[in-house]
A = this chain, B = another copy of it.
Amino acid sequence: MGESGSAPTMKDVAREAGVALGTVSKVMNGIPVGESYRVRVEEAVAKLNYRVNSYAKGLKTNKTYTVAVLVPNLVSPFFARLANSINRALSQKKHRMLLFATDYDPDQEQEYVILAEQQKVDGIICLSYNPELKVSDNVPLVSIDRYFGAKIPCVASDNYGGGRIAAEKLYENGCRNLAFMRIGSKLTNEPNKRKDGFTSACEALDIPYTLKIVDDGTPYSAFEDFLREHLRDGKLDFDGIFCVTDSLAYQIVRSLRAMGVRVPEDVQIIGFDGTKYFGDQDYFCSTIVQPLDQIAETCVEMILEKALSKAPSLVCLPVQYAYGGTTRQ
């Protein structure tokens, strides 16, 4: 292309079309120019296969149409779907997505934030596990699921409400003795509210509940031990279990079935997230579905909003119960 094999520039186009540089710029940006000029420029563009250099443009305009997205990985279906939804939302607004996988590592998160800043992105959307993430205040940042303080807007599902719905649904389905299970960080993030909503609903319904909460890194067998402790004569103490994620719920279902406990006949189980087989088939389990598209769209809108400073500091979006085979219908 161009003269020498490197990409053609506006100058090449201008020479080819026999017009001035500024005219080419105008045509490329849809600014009206004389009809004949426009045609000649467009022909030259087509002939040379010219592409605007967005680096030069970005340097000049201080706008890159690029947003950095930080998630732990793309292997967990939840993160993958989240990234997918964010990507779609950005794409609709003519923005591109720079994706960083942090692997839950606070140091990497910090490093990627710095990289994103160098990259002069128009904003950063992150699902962070670094409680003391430092970010320059000249780049907009929206957090998902983690409240960083009033200065940084946080978008999350209504985790508290989801916990309530789970308890209420189990109650409605006849359960009278519930359990909540969770493995997770001690960081104060929004998903922790799932438990609070759950216990609050149990208390309102006046039914007993048991909590089994273990720290990150605890082997899964801790849950199996817990289940076994509550198993007497092949019957479980509980008739309903709320698990903090679908992933955990799925494992619990397997363990219970292996122990001879029937799901949902003997015990009903509800997970959280709304994960589906292969992304598009059935739900793994009955679940509280997170509105990922809505979360993504909200994040993107907030990031691209100029007035981020006076955005709400926490946005909670409504969740929904969905049947997935591990509850009575």
A295 at the interface (CB under 8 A from B): no
Give the complex CA separation of A138 and B51 in angstroms: 12
Q: Is the CB of A138 within 8 A of B101?
A: no
Number of copies: 2
Give the residue name and chain of the B residue nearest to A117 (CB).
B51
Cα distance A5–B139 in the bound complex, in angstroms: 11
A74:B84 contact, CB within 8 angstroms:
yes
Query: Does the CB pair B64–A74 fall under 8 Å?
Result: no
- What does the 1/0 interface line of A8-19 toward B look like (CB < 8 Å)? 000000000000
Give the residue of B5, B80, B275 whose beta carbon is less than 8 angstroms from that of A138.
Answer: B5
B52 close to A138 (CB less than 8 A) = no
Tell me the bound Cα distance from A183 to B277 in angstroms. Answer: 17
A197 to chain B, nearest CB (A): 23
A96 lies within 8 A of chain B by Cβ: yes
Looking at the complex, which one of B52, B97, B119, B277 makes contact with A99 (CB distance below 8 Å)? Answer: B97
* A246 / chain B contacts, CB cutoff of 8 Å: 278
The A interface, classified by DSSP as helix, strand, loop or mixed, is: mixed
Interface mask (A43-68 → B, CB under 8 Å = 1, otherwise 0):
00000010111111011001010100
How close is A111's CB to chain B, nearest CB, in angstroms? 10
Complex CA gap A281/B254 in Å reads 12
A112-153, CB under 8 A of B: which get 1 and which 0?
Answer: 001101111000000000000000111000000000000000
Known A-B contacts A118-B51, A118-B54; A87 and B99 likewise in contact (beta carbons under 8 Å) = yes
**Chain B residues with Cβ under 8 A from A205's Cβ?**
none
A56-B59, A77-B279 are known contacts. Are A101 and B118 too (CB-CB below 8 A)?
no
In the complex, the chain B residue whose C-beta lies closest to that of A74 is B84
With A1-B136, A52-B118, A277-B284 already in contact, 14 other A-B pairs whose C-beta atoms are closer than 8 Å: A51-B114, A53-B120, A55-B64, A56-B59, A74-B83, A76-B280, A84-B101, A87-B101, A91-B100, A96-B98, A96-B119, A98-B98, A98-B99, A247-B281
Q: Which residues of A contact B (CB under 8 A)?
A: 1, 5-7, 49, 51-56, 58-59, 62, 64, 66, 73-77, 80-81, 83-84, 87-88, 91, 96-101, 114-115, 117-120, 136-138, 246-247, 250-251, 275, 277-281, 284
Q: What are 12 A-B interface contacts by the 8 Å CB criterion?
A: A1-B136, A53-B59, A74-B74, A74-B87, A75-B84, A77-B279, A80-B279, A96-B100, A99-B99, A246-B278, A247-B281, A250-B278
